[in-house]
A and B are shown apart, each in its own frame.
Chain A
């Protein structure tokens, strides 16, 4: 516990971080250790080269690191949520929003066909032809697109995934 406290004191604004993300002090410390091991140059920031970027920012400091990972905490359904508090970071909606943001590269609130194609391309790893990708993208948009604007908004995205157990899929037990 002693080391925990000393590590905690090194991190600025740690209470606010804990409150925002819901992580326990032990978790924060664990993540900090991990962050430091990833941050090979000890700059206090992680660059895409450090782990082969997962999000849009060029660098990630510890707070963002923790915030992003907070999305993957297993959700707690039992605790009745206080409606005055903001939506917890690891609720289903937040997780879905996070996933949506990964698709929506230009951040216009919609997944356009081009963005979808890009995601598909990166997932398929060059094993399929462009035409097949386009067919799949067309089909995907057709299925999900309810308001016929040829793009998938967040609502449509959420609706198309309502049968999938997002809580299960986007949770890592480690971060409980």
Chain B
């Protein structure tokens, strides 16, 4: 790193921080003023009103006031303005944190955001305004929470979730129950001790408090676990637990709240509570599943209105949540069920762009929501009336920790008897330590009625302290602990096709073996479900002929497509694998096994059938992509990790196509100017904004690129070939029939990106870096003219 670039970066950062701080100052006043509407009534409007009144009453004597050219009417836009201001603040904060690299490495984002919230709340209070009650329960449960849960549910990795569902349910249900009763009961016992002056706290409010505070919070878990990249099993255990314990929390909360007034809970009530729990959880899942199926069914018919496809997913899911909340069922479970049910079918139906839209929107909304939640937590801490009681608070914190540890250890002991892959001590520690509390607990506490619960403020204080403790202490220390204990981290590499094939094969095998043993195990039911799915459900919910497509083929196509994209993005120049693989694939493709030769080799011959096959494979591979998200790390929106040593297969195919093109259409091609006349950025911008501009690029005469099958030294000549091949494909579309044009429309994406990439290649010698955000933007946003080309069936 050069010193001048370092200082430049520092200056930029400093400038941005300054802007952010000024912005903070500026926002304090409107946000504070929001809570006191009388002050904010501007003069202009008041003046207007007064004028009108007077004019109405006394038309003649009132002197005409000058026509106000400019007036201020804050009350008119107050509400949306404040909301936007908060959202903007949250987003700028998020930006700001990543400018300070060391800080974001040590302190998890959630802590920083809470601190920001504290600051903002403090500033508002200093300014003399009343802090607005931002973490209003209604706002939280209806607006802030659903996006996060939907994002989690839609991208939930179903396979590990289902494989561990028994463990997850044990932790969620029994663990939460244990926590609630342990904390509540012991707190009551402590309160009864003479010296604490807390004897007025009865048993039921204590148990209610216990049930509120014992639930592991999905928002906090997501926020913290995202950054530590822990292995999939532990992630899904803690996260699944945080999602599924919602049903328990809902039931316990309502149970104790109802009967706190009455003062006692009988056995009958407990029994009803159990029934209620079953209804709440299963009902929530059922509601979610119904809406999910509706969404999938609707998406079957959206082939002509691609633009609103994402909307269906969002609206159906949100309605599932609201419907579940209407019946006091578990909204979170409904949302998870809806997302998980919707996804496989909707993804088969919708266009590639809609899929990208859904992904981006969900990530965006959940990101903003999470940021806002943490900031509001900070603000609410400053705002809320506090009743600090050392005993209560400290006992709460200690008890929560203790009960969590005991619960996890005890449950794991039982669970390990039934698990094949057992949970080690390290795993147990992480599960226990990762039980973070968050804003849901606070909101539930906030919902408590002041009259029924006179110690509400004390509860709130204790809840906030507990949240702070878990998020700050546990959140900050979990990362070093994970490193210290050498817990297995997430595997970054993606699945190879070998793994996919063998895994499927083993599934089949295991199903057979289970049949032989007469044992109706895991695989048996999974197989049955898959068959049912294939036979009935897919037929209803997936449009066209796609439902017949086996999973392996879809996976294979995905891989090929990904490779093609990677190939094109790098312009084929930078990361070329060794020459050896080329020979193997050459042999595979050519019917005649000619030994691969050096650069001066003649064009390889191949049969027409082979050409056809390759072209067909290429065409189908470069169609829609269904990027399966393997991990739901919020920060990686671009879900295509670059392979380290890609196979040459795609390159070979493309080369074959370019070769046969050259043979048939020597004279009718448009090429990209080999030496770019304008800068690559400009060209990219031009192409991105108007894909049709591609057609107007004229080839400089006499610019015939030599096509050589360079096996030994795959350097920039190859990139030229690759791009020219694409360009020729594009050029030929003007001469060919309409169905080719459709294909070209789709092929637009790689060429425009490829050209840009190639231009860059030529401009700057040899870039080591092949990640190019510009290209990715091009790729994902080819413009509205390609809207109609998405209707091709997936299988050729």
Contact = CB atoms under 8 A, between A and B. Distances in A.
A123 interface: yes
Contacts of A173: 418, 420, 521
Contacts of B512: 51-52, 54
11 contacts: A52-B512, A54-B513, A72-B513, A99-B509, A119-B501, A138-B588, A139-B649, A140-B497, A143-B647, A161-B499, A172-B514
Interface in A108-155: 119-120, 123-125, 127-128, 131-132, 135-136, 138-140, 142-145, 148, 150
Nearest to B521: A172
Interface of A: 31, 34, 37-38, 51-52, 54, 69, 72, 74, 99, 102-103, 119-120, 123-125, 127-128, 131-132, 135-136, 138-140, 142-145, 148, 150, 157, 160-161, 163-165, 167-175
B450 interface: no
B502 A164 contact: yes
Interface string B488-513: 00010100111101111111111011
Counting chain B CB atoms within 10 Å of each CB, which of A31, A54, A132 scores highest?
A: A132
Contact of A167 (B420, B513, B521): B420
B521 A142 contact: no
Contacts of B496: 143-144, 160
Nearest to A78: B422
A175 B499 CA distance: 25
A34 B552 contact: no
Interface residues of B, number: 48
B553 interface: yes
Given A99-B509, A135-B556, A148-B580, A143 B497 contact: yes
B657 to A, nearest CB: 15
B519 interface: yes
A69 B516 contact: yes
A123 B519 contact: no
B505 A123 contact: yes
B185 to A, nearest CB: 36
B663 interface: no
Contact of B647 (A128, A139, A160): A139
A119 B504 CA distance: 11
B613 interface: yes
B142 to A, nearest CB: 41
Nearest to B503: A164
Contacts of A174: 514, 517, 519, 521
B553 A132 contact: yes
B421 interface: yes
Contacts of B418: 173
Contacts of A142: 581, 584-585, 588, 647, 649
B516 A34 contact: yes
Contact of B516 (A38, A74, A144, A163): A38
Dominant SS among interface residues on chain A: helix
Given A139-B556, A161-B499, A174-B521, 18 more contacts: A38-B516, A54-B512, A99-B502, A120-B552, A123-B501, A124-B550, A132-B553, A138-B585, A139-B497, A139-B649, A142-B581, A142-B647, A143-B497, A164-B503, A168-B420, A169-B507, A169-B510, A170-B510
B502 A160 contact: yes
Given A128-B553, A135-B617, A161-B502, A51 B516 contact: yes
Chain A to chain B: the 9 pairs with minimum beta-carbon distance, closest first: A160-B498, A174-B519, A142-B647, A138-B588, A144-B498, A131-B613, A74-B420, A169-B506, A168-B421
B162 to A, nearest CB: 13
A168 B420 CA distance: 6
B498 A69 contact: no
Contacts of B493: 163
Interface in B358-409: none
B631 to A, nearest CB: 14
B16 to A, nearest CB: 41
Dominant SS among interface residues on chain B: helix
A122 to B, nearest CB: 9
A151 to B, nearest CB: 12
B505 A99 contact: yes
A51 B499 contact: no
A148 B516 CA distance: 38
Interface string B418-453: 101100000000000000000000000000000000
Interface of B: 163, 418, 420-421, 491, 493, 496-499, 501-510, 512-519, 521, 548-550, 552-553, 556, 559-560, 580-581, 584-585, 587-588, 613, 616-617, 647, 649
A123 B510 contact: no
Contacts of A103: 505
Given A34-B518, A140-B497, A143-B496, A131 B548 contact: no
Contact of A124 (B510, B515, B552): B552
B217 to A, nearest CB: 29
B499 A160 contact: yes
A72 B517 CA distance: 11
A103 B506 CA distance: 11
A36 to B, nearest CB: 12
Nearest to B418: A173
Counting chain A CB atoms within 10 Å of each CB, which of B552, B559, B560 scores highest?
A: B552
Contact of B509 (A37, A74, A102, A143): A102
Contacts of A163: 491, 493, 499
A10 to B, nearest CB: 20
A31 to B, nearest CB: 8
Given A99-B506, A168-B421, A169-B510, A138 B649 contact: yes
Contacts of A169: 503, 506-507, 510
B774 to A, nearest CB: 30
Nearest to B621: A135
Nearest to B523: A172
Contacts of A171: 420
A139 B553 CA distance: 12
A168 B559 CA distance: 26
Nearest to B588: A138
Nearest to B518: A34
Contacts of B616: 131
Contacts of B552: 120, 123-124, 136
Counting chain A CB atoms within 10 Å of each CB, which of B163, B548, B549, B550 scores highest?
A: B550
B519 A172 contact: yes
Nearest to A38: B516
A132 B505 CA distance: 18
Contacts of B519: 172, 174
Given A128-B550, A163-B499, A164-B503, A51 B515 contact: yes
Counting chain B CB atoms within 10 Å of each CB, which of A52, A135, A144, A175 scores highest?
A: A135
A119 to B, nearest CB: 7
A120 B521 contact: no
Nearest to B589: A138
A161 B506 CA distance: 12
Contacts of B588: 138, 142
Nearest to A136: B556
B556 A172 contact: no
Contacts of B497: 136, 139-140, 143
A140 B517 contact: no
Nearest to A52: B512
A131 B795 CA distance: 13
A34 to B, nearest CB: 5
B505 A143 contact: no
A121 to B, nearest CB: 12
A128 B560 CA distance: 16
Contacts of B498: 140, 143-144, 160-161
A69 B491 CA distance: 31
